[in-house]
Structures are given as structure tokens and as C-alpha cells.
Amino acid sequence: MTASIQMWDLGPSPNSKKVRLALGYKGLAHERKAVNPTDRAEIIAVSGQPLAPVIKHGDTVIFDSGAILRYLEANVKREPRLFSADYDTMAAIERWEQFAKVELTPPVGAVFGQFFSDKKDPKAAEEANRGYNAAARKLEAALAGREWLVGSTMTAADVVCASWVAQGVLGPKEIAWHPVQAYFASTLKLDPECRSVRGWYDRINRYDAALA
Ligand SMILES: N[C@@H](CCC(=O)N[C@@H](CS)C(=O)NCC(=O)O)C(=O)O
């Protein structure tokens, strides 16, 4: 019997989504605590830093989404696996994590920035769509004839990339969470030609407990 898990969750954040997907995929029961975007006192008291997500497993506190995925796999529940015992598979997963950081995070981050900026710049939104869809087309090519980015099962590569792709394919429930999500729905759109990406995303997104 594993210790209880609490997650401090910033609903619209891709990094929080990553952890919700990992918890859902591993079938780990947990309590989600909504992070107040304007008051980080609680998350700082728990973890010593202000960024979400954070988890607490028994007395152990972990922050940083990538660290949390690794902690869950190494310490809480090994199967179903998000990582691998195989060197080449680990390298491939980590390359996709890097891809998400370098190619998906900047355009999605730019749209978050636009939402919170007093001066909306239509050119910045166009640029974000270009960057996001250029990355989506690389995912589309990688998914040709296959279900998952690495190997024959879902891995952290899929979870991490899908968490950022999410912001261009939001459903009604997510759009209702916060005005930033409605802004995304009207600003950032996955190219409809990326059909494999769409199907792949839907296969992953069913593990998001916040959408159950
Ligand atoms: N490296 C961290 C980054 C966490 C992060 O940047 N969290 C953002 C949301 S995605 C946050 O809490 N930002 C402060 C804010 O939104 O006020 C991770 O992967 O978890």
C-alpha cells in the first residue's frame, strides 16, 4: 500500500497537465489541490519554491514536472512504464523531452505572455501559431504509421509533448477553467492537417483526471 499522494495543480499549465497524465496513466489515486495563481504562499510553504506542479508522497515533496515523472516511476509505481530500462529508448525519450522544451514551449509560452500583456500583438500570435504548427508537423511525421513517439507503448515522450500540444486543441471543459484557456482557444490552433497528432493526443488525453 503506497502512501497518499497530493498534487498542487495549476489547471491550465502544461507542466501540471504532464503530471496529471502521468498519475492517470499509472492509475495512482491522488488528491488534487488547486493552486491559487495569485497567492503562492501555500506552495512555497510546502515546497520552498513558487512554481506548480508539486507533489507530496507521504512526507516526500517533489517539484518540477520532469522530476515528478521520474520520482513516480522510480519510487511509487514502476508499471505501466513511462521510461525504460533500455539505454537507446531512454535517449529517445529524453530527445522528445528536449524537443518539447525547445520547439513547443516557446510558442505556447508566447501565447501565455500575450494573454497577460496589456498590449496584444497580432504578429506575436501569428508567430506563435507558425512555431507551434512547425513543431506539430514534426510530430505528425514522427507518428506516421505508428501510435506512439517511442516504441510500442505510451512513454514520457508522448506525455511531455502532448501536454504542450494540448494548448492548441482545448476542449470545452478546459476552456471553461480560466480566461487564459478561452484566449488560447481563439488564438492557437493545431493545423487540421495534423490528423495523426490529433488522434495521438486524444489517446493520451483520456488519462487526464481533471477531464473525467
Ligand atoms: N520546470 C518546472 C516549471 C514549472 C513552471 O514554470 N510552472 C509555471 C506554470 S507552467 C508556474 O507555476 N508559473 C507561475 C505562474 O503561473 O504564476 C516544471 O517543469 O514543473
Atom nearest to 63 CA in ligand 1: 20
Q: Choose one of 10, 51, 62 to mutate for the ligand 1 pocket test, by most ligand atoms within 8 angstroms of C-beta.
A: 51
Is ligand 1 within 6 A of the CB of residue 48?
no
Task: List, in order, residues 6 or more apart from 134 with CB less than 8 Å away.
Answer: 103
Residue 14 CA, ligand 1 centroid: distance in Å:
8
Q: Which residue, judged by its Cα, is nearest atom 18 of ligand 1?
A: 64
- pLDDT tens for the chain, 212 residues long, are 479 999 999 999 999 999 999 999 999 999 999 999 899 999 999 999 999 999 999 999 999 999 999 999 999 999 999 999 999 999 999 999 999 999 999 999 999 999 999 999 999 999 999 999 999 999 999 999 999 999 999 999 999 999 999 999 999 999 999 999 999 999 999 999 999 999 999 999 999 999 98
Is ligand 1 within 6 A of the CB of residue 13?
yes
Is ligand 1 within 6 A of the CB of residue 97?
no
pLDDT for 212 equals 85
Atom nearest to 112 CA in ligand 1: 16
Helix (H) or strand (E) holding 33: strand 31-34
Task: List, in order, residues 6 or more apart from 19 with CB less than 8 Å away.
Answer: 7, 9, 53, 55, 65, 68, 69
68 C-beta neighbours (distance < 10 Å), count: 23
Backbone φ, ψ for residue 63 (5° rounding): -120, 165
Q: pTM, whole model, 2 decimals?
A: 0.97
